[in-house]
Amino acid sequence: MSGIKEQVEEFSKNVEDVLDKVGQPLKPYIPAMSRLLIIATFLEDSMRIMMQWEDQRTFMEQSRHFPYGLSHLFLGLNVIVMLASSFGIVAKKQQTYAVYGLMGVIVAQAFGYGLIFDMSFFLRNLSVMGGLMMVLSETMVKRKQMFAALPQISETNRRMYLQLAGRILLIFLFIGSAFHGDWSLMRIAVSLLGLTACVMVAVGFKAKWSAMFLVLFLSVLNVFVNNFWSVQHSYYKRDFLRYDFFQSLSTVGGFLLLVSTGPGGLSYDEKKKEY
């Protein structure tokens, strides 16, 4: 039994070495690519609000009963915060405030658009928040405590907790998608494969490679399932699919950042290195 285990570990190590060599040229560009993908849904949403301003305003006033001036203020602040925060994340300027700003937008839109109890919206946005937490964890650096006698949480520990929370939140998009739609033998097989990778990401077991698998898997799935560009007969369906498409891109960006930064100290991979 131990012989089989050793063979599996040796095979796994060889695969990792090969993937490392193949992916080496892309490594310097992965952090920037992941950040662009993470903010994709916010850029798309801000453009949508500006291009559909009258429709958005009418919906807020008639369906959500916002007063005339408040509807303008709500939509305008959403656009400003999303654009400014997205720029901050890409340019690595005031990243902490930028992340908190985008998280605030997610919460504000959930209440403002009346989607707080929409399970699909809720799970998807949890995944987007997971990507934002990965960005936030990347900004954490180890600092010396000023008052050693006082109980404090170091930046290193905060980063580990943020990475753990980010890993767990990222998988909710796939979990929501796995149990939504018609079932077939192929769908069951695909769902089980994806859920296995999600569990591996959550516990931090072979986290980089399970995250890379989910990057490829979700990218292909996103193109085939949320192909909004092929919908011409329904304006609302195209809008809905486009929203899902860019949210999935943001989640892919979160997984890609996980590939770049690693799972953090609170993971099986890191604990195994200690022994």
- Decide if 163 is inside a domain: yes
Residue 134 in domain: yes
Judge whether 5 lies within some domain.
no
In a domain, 9, yes or no: no
Domain count for the chain, please give it: 1
Which range of residues forms the domain containing residue 46?
25-140+155-273
For 29-83, the pLDDT digits (tens) are: 888 999 999 999 999 999 999 999 999 999 999 999 999 999 999 999 999 999 9
Report pTM. Answer: 0.86
Domain assignment present for residue 245? The answer is yes
User: pLDDT by residue (tens digit) across 146-172?
Assistant: 444 444 556 678 888 899 999 999 999
Q: Give the least confident one: 2-16, 111-125, 204-218.
A: 2-16
The whole-number average pLDDT for the span 191-219 is: 89
Is 146 contained in some domain? Answer: no
- The secondary structure element, H or E, covering residue 102 is helix 95-112
The neighbour count for residue 59, using CB atoms within 10 Å, is 16
Q: Distance between CA atoms of 232 and 234, rounded to whole angstroms?
A: 6
